[in-house]
Amino acid sequence: MIKEFGNLSEDREIDKLRLDEENAIQPSKYGYYLDALAQAKTELDRAKQNYEATVSARSLYYRRNPPTDIKATEAVYTDLVNTDTQVLEAKDALIRAQEAVNVLYASVASIEDVRKSIDNLVKLQLSSYYNSQGMDNARDKLNQ
């Protein structure tokens, strides 16, 4: 059975009775989120480049077509560019791309925590922690 990833709440769940399977799929799960993060970073870079190009193009447009109703100063050009619809759309796309990267950073960290939890659960299982008869002995061994 091929496991599909992408639902973070499901991907963070661990089946304590199938740690061998959880351990086996962990690299694929981690890789999935790292790939998604890499793609999001690429989209962020594209959004940054698009934003910078849009700001430059609109700045050049306003300098070639200065306003006739007010004195054309640097402050006016800055305000014209900062309130331009195309610039605002490019800035919004940049913000959305940054948000996607931030979410995926948190997702990768969460999946790393899953890996650590699997490691800890394996150690607990190997020390018979979940065996009710040996629970006290196992707890003592871990505390030493």
**pLDDT number for residue 34:** 97
Instruction: Please give the Cα distance from 122 to 134 (Å, whole number).
Output: 16
- In this predicted model, what pLDDT tens digit does every residue of 30-55 receive, in sequence order? 999 999 999 999 999 999 999 999 99
* Residue 4 pLDDT class (50, 70, 90 cuts): confident
**pLDDT number for residue 128:** 74
Sequence-distant (6+) residues with CB within 8 A of 50 are 90, 93, 94
Average pLDDT of 108-118?
Answer: 95
Instruction: Please give the Cα distance from 30 to 109 (Å, whole number).
Output: 10
Instruction: Please give the Cα distance from 77 to 18 (Å, whole number).
Output: 63
* Residue 58 pLDDT class (50, 70, 90 cuts): very high
* Chain length of the chain: 144
